[in-house]
Structure 1
Amino acid sequence: MSEPIAAVVVRAAELTARGLPQRAVELLRPALAANPLHAEAWCRLAAAHLDAGEPDPALEAAKRALVLPGDQSWAQRLTSLALGELGRHAEALVAARECVRREPGDWRCLVVLAEALAGAGELREAVEVARGATGLAPTEARAHQVLGDAALRVRDWGTAERAYRTALRLDPGADDVRANLATARRKRGGPAPAPVAVHALVQPVLSRLAALLVAGGLVLLLAALPRPTPLLGWFAAALVAGCVAVVARLLVRDGVRRALPPLLRRRPLTAAVAVLFGLAVLVLAGWSVALLLGATTTQPLVLAWLCSLVGGAVVVLRGR
């Protein structure tokens, strides 16, 4: 019985690829009635329903596949897509995260997770996850399209334009991508991104700086007891370089440098955190140089760590 159902699954996949999902559904239904334990056929049926714009039966079929032995990541992807189509974004996100947990190296799982994150309003993480998908599958147009969609929603016009251009080069017939590329180009030539959109990019940078400076400063404080050595100067310099790299990655984004001053004027708390972290980095840099020249004091390190701790506390509390 396994050979006939396998042949049906192959024919259903061909029909779906030709734009005939309803015929694939009609082919799979009777086959599954006779072979209800074939997980791949249930997944193929769910995919056909999704292509036909029928999320309810797609979800039902995907759930049937989930309780059977087989490709669980495919079933989780289909479940997440169906839930997203039904507007159940929180559940879609849970299914997508489970898919990535099972297959962290599968770019398709990352694409589904990026779409679920965007549907749930987690736009910053959606961009990063989609970027990871393009890294795993640089020749897949779908991965670049999802990155462009996520970047478009956070008003990162440059990233969106580059992603859409790549997607079009890989799949020149994608008219929706062409339209979104035109939108990204038009927006990129317009005014700078709004401060709220830039804040969506600044916030994760502040979180990373807080983690680096607080954790790194604590390690340096412990290592400096009872007396710091010149070797610690190199570690402090490496910490400073890491912080500079995090900030530089933000500043190279299109429009960010123009939008940062109005953002800091409108959000004094963000500006205060940026000043604290900047002071911490400057003091750390000076202390590392002093250590390499023979100094043995830890007072600058304590000052830098306290600035980092206060700034980090503000970042955590503001995030909550």
Structure 2
Amino acid sequence: MWAMSEPIAAVVVRAAELTARGLPRQAIDLLQPALVVNPLHGEAWCRLAAAYLDAGEPDPALNAAKRALVLDGDPAWAQRLTALALSELGRHAEAVVAARECVRRKPGDWRCQVVLAEVLANSPDGRREAVEVARQAAHLAPGQARAFQVLGDAALRVRDWGTAERAYRTALRLDPEAGDVRANLDTVRRKRGGAPIPPPSAEALHAAHALVWPALSRLAALLVAGGLVLLLGGMPRPTPFLGWFSGLLVVACAAVVGLVLVKARRGVRRALFRLPRHRPKVAFTATMFGLSAVILTGWTVALLLGATTMQPLVIAWLCALIGGAVVVLAGGR
């Protein structure tokens, strides 16, 4: 028995090499006679199914994958091949069922997630889900170019240019020789040039708001309290020395804003700049604090150059007071 199993194992390895070199027909010719002698070798049937798929022959690929399903071996591999063959035959509903069964058997196997994403992307009703499944595959296998290629392909089908470009760029970083990925990346860049920027998701907006609102509260405290101290310290006539304290207040405000940008992840950072369009209270408060900070900066420079007026400080403090009132009354809602 061992003498019979050793040659078939060598044949399977040789067939895998031929398929990898782009010679699936030679792999098929090698496997078929070996399987006549060893019809119970599940891995060989899987390798034959994979070779048929690479040769563009889904019918015999499906038959070989079904043979592998009932034999000992890797059932998830046979299930993946079955799903791909069914998808190639246009039997999309059956392909999705087979791929979901593969994921159910091995939920942590990124290859099962990749196959599910591929068959969902080929199904007209599953393209949105395909992006999420492919994203899960990329999360499970951050070092596998294939996972990111499938994510890019799925995103390309739903015209999510940003996700597609990021996925293809990662795939190329992992496998610089992937010419088809490079071609798809060029396509995405051409398409994206005239495509509108998609709106941020509700989750990204919520995360951005969760970062911005506490920062606005801190700015309110700094500008209102700090402005009041400067008003009291500048009476009856401000001196250039007071400008140093005013400058420290401006730097502290800039540090609060910078900390928000540092904490924000990439997707959330983009949502930060579009948050005012979706949150009117944030837009109004940020405008008031921005005016206050700009006026305060100008007054600080003027003060250091010898000016003695208090009027800009009063205007800056009133802007901060109005913005702070909105922060207090809104309460983070």
Partner of 1:124: 128
TM-score (norm 1): 0.62
TM-score (norm 2): 0.59
Partner of 1:220: none
Partner of 2:101: 98
Partner AA of 1:140 in structure 2: Q
- For 2:144, which of 130, 140, 143 is the aligned residue? 140
User: Which entry has the higher C-alpha Rg, 1 or 2?
Assistant: 2
Contact 1:79 1:92 in 2 (8 A): yes
Contact 1:83 1:89 in 2 (8 A): yes
Cα RMSD (Å) of the superposition?
Answer: 3.0
Unaligned stretches of 5+ residues in structure 1: 206-247, 262-284, 290-303, 305-320
Partner of 1:67: 70
- For 2:28, which of 11, 25, 42 is the aligned residue? 25
Cα-to-partner distance string for 1:111-158 (whole Å, 9 max, x where unaligned) = 000011111131221111101111111111110011001111222111
Unaligned stretches of 5+ residues in structure 2: 204-264, 279-329
Do residues 167 (structure 1) and 199 (structure 2) align?
no
Contact 1:107 1:133 in 2 (8 A): yes
Partner AA of 1:117 in structure 2: L
- 4+ runs deviating over 2 angstroms: 248-254
- 3-state DSSP of counterpart to 1:172: coil
The change in CA–CA distance for 1:189 and 1:43 in structure 2 (over 3 A counts) is same
- 3-state DSSP of counterpart to 1:168: helix
Distance in 2 separating the partners of 1:257 and 1:111: 33
Contact 1:108 1:133 in 2 (8 A): yes
Partner of 2:88: 85
Distance in 2 separating the partners of 1:50 and 1:75: 13
- For 2:44, which of 32, 41, 46 is the aligned residue? 41
Give the drift of 1:31.
Answer: 0.8
Distance in 2 separating the partners of 1:19 and 1:147: 24
Partner AA of 2:13 in structure 1: V
The change in CA–CA distance for 1:28 and 1:154 in structure 2 (over 3 A counts) is same
Do residues 114 (structure 1) and 117 (structure 2) align?
yes
Partner of 1:216: none
Q: How does 1:277-316 map to 2 (within 5 A)?
A: none
- For 2:153, which of 149, 161, 167 is the aligned residue? 149
Cα-to-partner distance string for 1:245-295 (whole Å, 9 max, x where unaligned) = xxx9987679x969x99xxxxxxxxxxxxxxxxxxxxxxx96xx9xxxxxx
The change in CA–CA distance for 1:190 and 1:74 in structure 2 (over 3 A counts) is same
Contact 1:118 1:150 in 2 (8 A): yes
Contact 1:155 1:193 in 2 (8 A): no
Distance in 2 separating the partners of 1:45 and 1:67: 15
The change in CA–CA distance for 1:250 and 1:123 in structure 2 (over 3 A counts) is farther
The change in CA–CA distance for 1:37 and 1:18 in structure 2 (over 3 A counts) is same
Distance in 2 separating the partners of 1:185 and 1:253: 19
- For 2:12, which of 9, 13, 16 is the aligned residue? 9
Give the drift of 1:168.
Answer: 1.2
Distance in 1 separating the partners of 2:270 and 2:75: 38
Partner of 1:225: none
Partner AA of 2:168 in structure 1: Y
Distance in 1 separating the partners of 2:55 and 2:43: 18
The change in CA–CA distance for 1:253 and 1:37 in structure 2 (over 3 A counts) is farther
Give the drift of 1:102.
Answer: 0.6
Contact 1:56 1:82 in 2 (8 A): yes
Distance in 2 separating the partners of 1:91 and 1:249: 38
- 3-state DSSP of counterpart to 1:124: helix
Partner AA of 1:166 in structure 2: T
Distance in 1 separating the partners of 2:129 and 2:167: 16
The change in CA–CA distance for 1:59 and 1:251 in structure 2 (over 3 A counts) is same
